[in-house]
Amino acid sequence: MKLWHNILTKLQDNQKVCLLIVVQNQGSSPGRQGFKMMVAQDGSIFGSIGGGVMEYKLVEKAKKRLLKGEFSSLLTKQIHQAKTPNSSGMICSGEQTVVFSTLSGKHITSIQKFLQENQLVDLHLSEDNVSFHFDSTCKNPIFQYQNQKNWLYQEPLKNKKNVYIVGSGHVGLATTEILKFLEFNTIVFDNRKDLNTYNQNTFASRKEIVLYNDIQKYIPNQPNSIVIIMTNKYTDDKLILEKLLAENQFNYGYIGVLGSKEKIRIMFKALRESGIHNKLLKQVYAPIGIAIKSQTPQEIAVSIAAELIELNNKNTN
């Protein structure tokens, strides 16, 4: 979401912004569908559409469009092979189509609404229009092309999901830090007061001391909720999972539990005996994280972040 925050800042400063989006790609293209970057009137840039000499050329083209005051959207195809028409200057094979669209002050309200209210919104681009459509029903980007004057690109824009980290020890601290870098909205819970790692955690969007017996009141059972359970006690981990699954419904985007395979085996056995359906437990990622033989808190945090990235990319491709 940093891209849209940067765009909003420039628009509020009465600057116009050229938005570059990869609307289609094939083969080994460095830019994938949905990659974005902005070029502002003051020359500042943010984001990427694939990098390299290709990106440099397109940024310079965007600067010229802003200087000339060109507002209609423009499609340009980049072929990543040497000695071919429309060659991008790269030789990685594949191709990508990039659209240049100009954003101005009239788009401020829509972008503010999207960012502040966590609204679902579709971005619509055509040769003569840039618009934001709220209450989105589109799930994946769509590019329809007839010719340079008749085309449409539609993409659902989504704010990052909420990550609820239950347990603010060393691993919780490291995980919050890396997820902030990845632009997730992180909420940290613990039941211990005056915990040094809780106090040191300046990366969370929000922190709160709670009773784990009431944890279900703080974490909505909905697809926008990612839950990471990593308390300092097996009994607390079990209690939290039991509370979250008590209604025998699993609408969460993700639940993961930190621990060894043996700990998870014993915990799940106890939960089944307490009445939690096995079909719900099968949806829990446990032990949490990609298997990379991680040992330190930072390595464990990387493995967790990698699992979330993998899951997110599976759901959007």
Residues 119 and 243 in one domain: no
Residues 230 and 138 in one domain: no
The proportion of the chain whose per-residue pLDDT surpasses 90, expressed as a percent, equals 57
Residues 135 and 268 in one domain: no
Considering only residues 244 and 149, tell me which one the structure prediction assigns the higher pLDDT.
244
Residues 47 and 21 in one domain: yes
Tell me the C-alpha distance between 189 and 206, whole Å.
9
Residue 86 has pLDDT above 60, yes or no: no
- The mean-pLDDT minimum among 75-79, 144-148, 198-202, 263-267 falls in 75-79
pLDDT confidence tier of residue 134, bands split at 50, 70 and 90: confident
Of the residues 97, 122, 157, which one is the last residue of a structural domain?
Answer: 157
How are the residues of the chain apportioned to helix, strand and coil, as percentages rounded to the nearest 5? 35, 25, 40
Residue 71 has pLDDT above 60, yes or no: yes
Position 79 scores a pLDDT of 65
Q: Average pLDDT for residues 12-37, to the nearest whole number?
A: 87
Residue 85 has pLDDT above 70, yes or no: no
pLDDT digits 0-9 by tens, 274-312: 999 999 999 999 999 998 888 899 999 999 999 998 887
Q: Average pLDDT for residues 210-220, to the nearest whole number?
A: 95
Residues 166 and 140 in one domain: no
Tell me the C-alpha distance between 301 and 170, whole Å.
10
Q: Average pLDDT for residues 173-190, to the nearest whole number?
A: 93
Position 92 scores a pLDDT of 47
Position 315 scores a pLDDT of 61
Residue 87 has pLDDT above 60, yes or no: no
Contact (CB, 8 A) for 309 and 182: yes
Tell me the C-alpha distance between 101 and 170, whole Å.
44
b/e per residue, 304-316, with b = 16+ CB within 10 A? bbbbbeeebeeee
Considering only residues 71 and 191, tell me which one the structure prediction assigns the higher pLDDT.
191
pLDDT digits 0-9 by tens, 27-37: 767 778 889 99
CATH number at residue 221: 3.40.50.720
Tell me the C-alpha distance between 2 and 199, whole Å.
26
Position 306 scores a pLDDT of 95
- Owning domain of residue 198: 162-316
Residues 178 and 115 in one domain: no
Our count of domains for the chain comes to 2
Of the residues 106, 135, 157, which one is the last residue of a structural domain?
Answer: 157
Of the residues 94, 124, 157, which one is the last residue of a structural domain?
Answer: 157
Position 88 scores a pLDDT of 47
Q: Average pLDDT for residues 37-49, to the nearest whole number?
A: 93
Query: CA-based angle 317:289:32, to the nearest 5?
Result: 25
Contact (CB, 8 A) for 136 and 122: yes
pLDDT confidence tier of residue 118, bands split at 50, 70 and 90: low
Residues 152 and 169 in one domain: no
Position 182 scores a pLDDT of 87
b/e per residue, 24-36, with b = 16+ CB within 10 A? bbeeebbbebbbb
